[in-house]
Structure 1
Amino acid sequence: MSASSPQPFMVSFTEMATTLHEVHQAHAHMIKTGLIRNTFAASRLIAFADTNSTDPTTLTYAHSVFTRVSKPNSYVWNTIIRAYTNSSSPVLALLVFHQMLHGPVFPDKFTFPFVLKACSYLHWIKKGQQIHTHIVKVGLGSDVFIQNTLIHLYASAGFIECAHNLLNRMFERNVISWNAILSALADQGLMEQALSLFEEMPEKNVESWNFMISGYVSLGLIQEARSLFDVMPLRDVVSWNAMLTGYAHVSCFDEVLAVFEDMQNAKVKPNSYTLVNVLSACANVGAMNQGEWIYSFINKNDIKIDGFLATALVDMYAKCGNIDKALEVFNNTLKKDISTWNSMIAGLSIHGYGEDALRVFSEMLAEGYSANEITFVSVLSACSRAGLLDEGYSVFYLMVHVHGIKPCIEHYCCVVDLLGRAGLLEEAEEFITAMELKDAPAVWVSLLNACRIHENVKMAEHVAMWLFKLNPQDSSGYVQLSNIYVSIGRWNDAREVRKMMKAQKVTKEPGWSMIEVDGIVHEFLAGDGLHSQAD
């Protein structure tokens, strides 16, 4: 077989390759057999970069192959431009495009959509306008795919009128053309304009509805999103996920579970994004039965547990009280990320397993993961809950002086709590006064709580007065001081504190809780007698 005739097996092997190593093997064979001189065969090596454009090494390799193709055709040029467009460096797509302009192969109708997308990603509207002018000069201004990309470029840059004018001049406008403007309006939060356009559209597909729903969700307008969702003629998994995300973001976790139940009844198969949202809701309301069902679903459908999904499972089991199951999921997860480690450490902390939390933290560092601010909040909290004073000091030092992380209010609160639980109230106050954030009420609330634990009324009064000065409308100082007085029988003083609250018009948010009974989540407010099963 001649080198000009690509060998089907080798080309097929290249297309099926999943790693750069496999592509290198195919490349070596092509060089050995002379197949590399075939433009189409060489283009398959470059095409691998298009599906792996997030990997800089793959892109570098693809470009090296591209530069060695003696006579690249338009397909080869377009393949490398598309790979760069979808990479983290879309500016390189424009550089290759400018090389192409010098011939002998010139840009065609397939080139320009990729280049215009690169301009959109870079927010280079002027460059996009220049390319638009070139498109008109070469007679491609009426191509529907190029027009749709131009509409999206102008709309995403805020040039809505330009985009609309292009739409109105199109001879073959389709739903994609309308969606190009609709998606840009929704992304920019211009929902009144988006709704007006949506109602004007002669044809809508499920994507059109999803743009609107996601736009409302991103602004926290959940009721508006739900109103559209309820009248959609057809829903896909993206539609359901948008509603799940919306309810999760406003902490309506019971609604997340209700929507998920409706999704199951509609026979729509959830994806990993769905499951993460629902597991988060289960964690927040303590619905372990439903969380268990999701875990069974994941295993039954051979869904890979890693990253966000592993984190959500660990978090759900830990918050629902089954720390052993959380550890089982964690230990069985081969591909962990920093969030997975953080969730496991936080779960152990919540359950009072301070030494185990420190052990997991040490394993994380030993495996080469970089701890972040969230990691140290969980580790410091674990030390505080377990009374590990020396270890807590060491962790705080490690965070500041080794990892170079500037403490935030949560870290300071953990250290104050650590000292307070150990009965070192004076040291805790000295620590606060030396802080950059000493005027943050949260650290003083932590110290006040320590005063309550150790029944140090004198310091409690001092700390409470400081809190009243910092934030007169914060109820926590009043309530804790009142409770301290009640605990030692100083009823008159407790009443005076309550009077101060009333005079300052300070209100305390009622406590609430949720419980799962027979798969149904019930919500209660403190002192609420309205629940159907309340005595």
Structure 2
Amino acid sequence: MLRIAKFSSFRCWRRFLLVLPSAMGQESSAQQLWLQFFADPSQWWDHRFDKNNPRYPDFKHKETQEALWIDGRSTPPWVNKVLSAMRPGTIQRNVASWTLGIKRCVKEGQNRKALELFQDMQREGVSPDKFAFIAVLKACANLAALEKGKQVHNQVMQSQCESDIFVGSCLVDMYAKCGSIEDAWLVFSSMPTRTVVSWSIMIMAYAKCGQGQKALDLFQEMQQEQMPPDNATFVGVLTACTSIGALEQGRHIHALLIGLDADIFVGNCLVDMYAKCGSIEDACRVFKNMATHTIVTWNAMINGYVKCGLGMKAVEVFRQMKKEDLEPDSVTYMGILNACASALAIEDGKLVHAEIVHRKRCFDLPVANSLIDMYGKCGSIEDAWKVFTKMPHRSVVSWNSMIAACVKCGNGKKAVELFQQMRKEKVEPDNFTFVAVINACASILALIEGRQVHEQVIRSGFSSDIIIGSCLIDMYAKCGSIDDAYDVFKSMPVRNVVSWSTMISGYVKCGHGQKAIKLFQQMQQELVKPDGVTYVAMISACADIGALEEGKRVHAEVTRSGLELDVFVGSSLVDMYAKCGSIKNARTVFGNISRRNVVSWNSMLTGYALHGLGKEALLLFEEMCESGAEVDGSTLACLLSACSHAGLVDQGYYCFESMVPLYGIMATVEHHSCMVDLLGRSGCLNEAEDVINSMCCKPDVSVWMALLSACRINGDVQMAERAAEQILELDPENSSAFVLLSNIYAASRKWDSSTNLQQTRRKQKTRRKQHVIKQPGCSWIEVNNQVHTFVVNDKEHPCIQEIRDELRRLFMAMKSMGYVPNTHLVLHDVEEEVKEISLLYHSEKLAIVFGLISTPPGSPIQVLKNLRICADCHTATKFISKIVGRSIILRDANRFHHFKKGACSCRDYW
């Protein structure tokens, strides 16, 4: 049936109905009637496409507005035949019909089809109107199709639709979602008129692209123009506050929300903003005042508690949510698994895992990845592996999570193997993969594998990634290849505070304190602002080389930056001052730390131990216990060391015996080693050996080395031989044991035994050719911000002749005062005169004399030595301090010696 109607120009219906004859005999008259109306089909619009209202005509004349309906069920076959025979486009679709089709595709998520329809429309000669542009711009935004969006923008300008406020808003939205915030701003700023919608879109654009402050500035400008915000505006502004952690500004925005905070979207944004800005109390308050809670609201609360480090609170919220019969989604499960991971609540995590399996979400890739991460952080590598192996599909995130889990659980070797397997399965690594596997190589000191990973980083195009570069620096430094670390550092196109700090820390770890200081100075010249990690590394560098003046300058910078009260920075300063000989400054800094943890207490105890202040260490330990601070194994090791250096045998023995009953801490090898050292130094060698024999765990090299050192002090050759035998059995290539025993023989004038030991040692070939190399003794001193290093019988220093002359003058003065060189310490069978000369040019004597001739009279001298000071140098330094009337501070491998007026703080006990 065909129905035809005609509309007047005044839009009043003057309707007539014509029923076409259906009988075959009248077919010719029907065809004539059809041709009467379709004499020129190009003058009709075709509305059959995307028609959703049966009252709307199928065809409509472009000029006369005559309308025609076709009833598909009773339309004569010849009508369909005529229509199908027409060339496509003969009866055209108008712009409204095309736009309707584009809109429908966008609504159904078929954005690419929408773009194709837009192109077809233009090919058929139909010019888009503003509604078509709005629809296609939405499709471009959804696809983040920037280039296509720019092409549409050009057409918008040609059609002069750009001034339309709705088209302009859609252009802003399209550019923002495509990541071109500059183009979005250009469109927005050129709009002649702006509505609340356009303002809201631009504010949200800034918020989502990480420019939260610009979003807040724009909101302020909007208020100045007296444009009333709506819910969408506040959602964008709150999102901006969340992105930059602007809690106070968020509270100000909240105060403007009177009457609008009942909106569920605004409420969810408020909860999320407060939670992510660290004010979980405000988030709870908003949450409780909300009339309804969606899954988004609950997820915001769970993730907020996780961000604030309150994992168990997040678990409680999850349980409360389930009581309200609200089904969790993937975001919920990922949030609660993160909560279990942060709280190390593996049992709760397993319950969540069971629920995930029950709800058949275990094959949800992000959820499965979160399960691996949770088990890895909780230390259950087996459970993480089970999840990983059961995954039907694995993304690069899955591999990253499993590799990171292995690293976290201390199985770096497995992590490297997983990375290799990942490459075999053709899974392309991303930057997170490389970070994880580089950390794995660092944890197991796998330098060769680390270099191979570095090569893959370069091939994959990640060599300019600043995080990967910092990890490579750290890996090479930990593996002892500091030159490779510096090569990576130099090649980085951009360096941030992390990369600078990592390189400085690498130098410190490899014993290059002076290079660390120079690099820090270069960092400041390049105007890179140090952070707490940088300062900790720098302070450690100063401590290692005894650079007190440089350490004081760093301390001044720390104070100006407001980091002095940071417990880690403060603890490092305590350690630095103690190791640089200024125990008074160490105590002052310690007193300024408002919130001390076990690290800060242990740093101060170690400082007292280094300076032989055992009684002060015991008093500090009492203060520590009274404050309620945690006592750990390191604390007791520090205390035992302090007692050892001060000869407080009874107090040390009481501390050792009290470890389990008073503190619940089992004695480790380290504690036994300290106890052996304590007893051995005091001459109780038999008791020290009894401690070793009564150990519940097997003694290691460090314990026997403590006994061997004590044997050297006390000259007990037989026990030294027993100790050395045990050491060489545990570590046949231990050069220190061989050297110590050889020295003990020589000091006892057992030249034959010393010679035989050396000959026997040379014949040993347990590995390929090994040569025992005694660590060369060296001493260094800081003068005028420069560290000067000396070795025994040094001939390289520029001032060596002047030093030797002054040293010989002091030698004659000391002899006149009763100084007798301790030639027993010369471990070679040579003439006495040769022995005296050998003792005269020890590295610590050279460093002390250089300090005397290079610093103002009366100023203290501070020297560091990498080995234990010998008895002759100890005696000679006492005489020197009396002759020159200056304080001399010397730090050796064991402790500090403060020489003043011919006496030493150690009271000749070290």
TM norm structure 1:
0.74
Residue 303 of structure 1: CA displacement? 2.6
Amino acid at match of 1:414: C
Residue 327 of structure 1 corresponds to 587
Note the alpha carbon deviations across 1:391-416, whole angstroms, 9 max, x for none: 11111122222212121222112212
Amino acid at match of 2:495: R
Residue 84 of structure 1: CA displacement? 4.7
Residue 130 of structure 1 corresponds to 364
Q: Report whether the alignment pairs 1:157 with 2:157.
A: no
Residue 143 of structure 1 corresponds to none
Residue 511 of structure 1 corresponds to 777
- Alignment of structure 1 residues 148-297 onto 2, 5 Å: 152-157=397-402, 179-189=431-441, 192-193=452-453, 195-201=455-461, 206-207=466-467, 209-210=469-470, 212-214=472-474, 216=476, 221-297=481-557
CA distance in 2: counterparts of 1:376 and 1:210, whole angstroms: 36
Residue 273 of structure 1: CA displacement? 0.6
Amino acid at match of 1:415: M
CA distance in 2: counterparts of 1:461 and 1:133, whole angstroms: 62
Residue 352 of structure 1 corresponds to 612
CA distance in 2: counterparts of 1:528 and 1:501, whole angstroms: 29
Residue 482 of structure 1: CA displacement? 3.4
Residue 441 of structure 1: CA displacement? 3.4
Q: Contact (CA 8 Å) 1:36, 1:42: kept in 2 or not?
A: no
Pick the aligned partner of 1:368 from 604, 619, 628: 628
Residue 171 of structure 1 corresponds to none
Q: Report whether the alignment pairs 1:400 with 2:660.
A: yes
Structure 1 stretches lacking a partner, 5+ long:
135-149, 169-176
SS at match of 2:782: strand
Residue 412 of structure 1 corresponds to 672
CA 1:527 to 1:80, structure 2 compared with 1: closer, same or farther past 3 Å?
Answer: farther
Greater CA radius of gyration, 1 or 2?
Answer: 2
Residue 379 of structure 1 corresponds to 639
Residue 385 of structure 1: CA displacement? 1.4
Q: Report whether the alignment pairs 1:447 with 2:707.
A: yes
Residue 462 of structure 1: CA displacement? 4.5
SS at match of 1:255: helix
SS at match of 2:495: coil
Note the alpha carbon deviations across 1:368-399, whole angstroms, 9 max, x for none: 01211111111011111111121111111222
Note the alpha carbon deviations across 1:321-347, whole angstroms, 9 max, x for none: 111111111112112111111011111
Residue 278 of structure 1: CA displacement? 0.9
CA 1:216 to 1:492, structure 2 compared with 1: closer, same or farther past 3 Å?
Answer: closer
CA distance in 1: counterparts of 2:695 and 2:304, whole angstroms: 50
Note the alpha carbon deviations across 1:119-144, whole angstroms, 9 max, x for none: 9988999968515599xxxxxxxxxx
Structure 2 stretches lacking a partner, 5+ long:
1-229, 343-348, 369-394, 404-417, 442-448, 765-770, 802-910
Residue 98 of structure 1: CA displacement? 9.2
Amino acid at match of 2:689: E
CA 1:65 to 1:188, structure 2 compared with 1: closer, same or farther past 3 Å?
Answer: farther
Residue 308 of structure 1 corresponds to 568
Seq. identity, % = 31
SS at match of 2:602: helix
Indicate the larger mover: 284-293 or 511-520: 511-520
Q: Contact (CA 8 Å) 2:298, 2:321: kept in 1 or not?
A: no
Pick the aligned partner of 1:433 from 693, 706, 726: 693
Q: Contact (CA 8 Å) 2:457, 2:463: kept in 1 or not?
A: no
Q: Contact (CA 8 Å) 1:93, 1:118: kept in 2 or not?
A: no
Q: Contact (CA 8 Å) 1:120, 1:156: kept in 2 or not?
A: no
Q: Contact (CA 8 Å) 2:247, 2:274: kept in 1 or not?
A: no
Residue 423 of structure 1 corresponds to 683
Pick the aligned partner of 2:290 from 63, 69, 72: 69
Count of matched residue positions in the alignment of Structure 1 and Structure 2? 487
TM norm structure 2:
0.46
CA 1:444 to 1:156, structure 2 compared with 1: closer, same or farther past 3 Å?
Answer: closer
Amino acid at match of 1:515: I
Q: Contact (CA 8 Å) 1:116, 1:128: kept in 2 or not?
A: no
SS at match of 2:658: helix
Pick the aligned partner of 1:79 from 286, 296, 300: 300
CA 1:433 to 1:204, structure 2 compared with 1: closer, same or farther past 3 Å?
Answer: closer
CA 1:511 to 1:157, structure 2 compared with 1: closer, same or farther past 3 Å?
Answer: same
Q: Report whether the alignment pairs 1:342 with 2:602.
A: yes
CA distance in 2: counterparts of 1:447 and 1:203, whole angstroms: 50
SS at match of 1:321: coil
Q: Contact (CA 8 Å) 1:213, 1:225: kept in 2 or not?
A: yes
CA distance in 2: counterparts of 1:451 and 1:164, whole angstroms: 57
Amino acid at match of 1:303: L
SS at match of 2:511: coil
Residue 495 of structure 1 corresponds to 755
Residue 409 of structure 2 corresponds to none
CA 1:78 to 1:472, structure 2 compared with 1: closer, same or farther past 3 Å?
Answer: closer
Q: Contact (CA 8 Å) 1:152, 1:184: kept in 2 or not?
A: no
Note the alpha carbon deviations across 1:278-329, whole angstroms, 9 max, x for none: 1111111111121111011112333342311011101111011111111111
CA 1:227 to 1:453, structure 2 compared with 1: closer, same or farther past 3 Å?
Answer: closer
Residue 264 of structure 1: CA displacement? 1.7
Q: Contact (CA 8 Å) 2:472, 2:485: kept in 1 or not?
A: yes
Amino acid at match of 1:83: G
CA distance in 2: counterparts of 1:423 and 1:203, whole angstroms: 59
Indicate the larger mover: 501-510 or 155-164: 155-164
Indicate the larger mover: 381-390 or 122-131: 122-131
Q: Contact (CA 8 Å) 1:77, 1:100: kept in 2 or not?
A: no
Residue 137 of structure 1 corresponds to none
Q: Contact (CA 8 Å) 1:164, 1:181: kept in 2 or not?
A: no
SS at match of 1:157: helix
Residue 214 of structure 1: CA displacement? 4.8
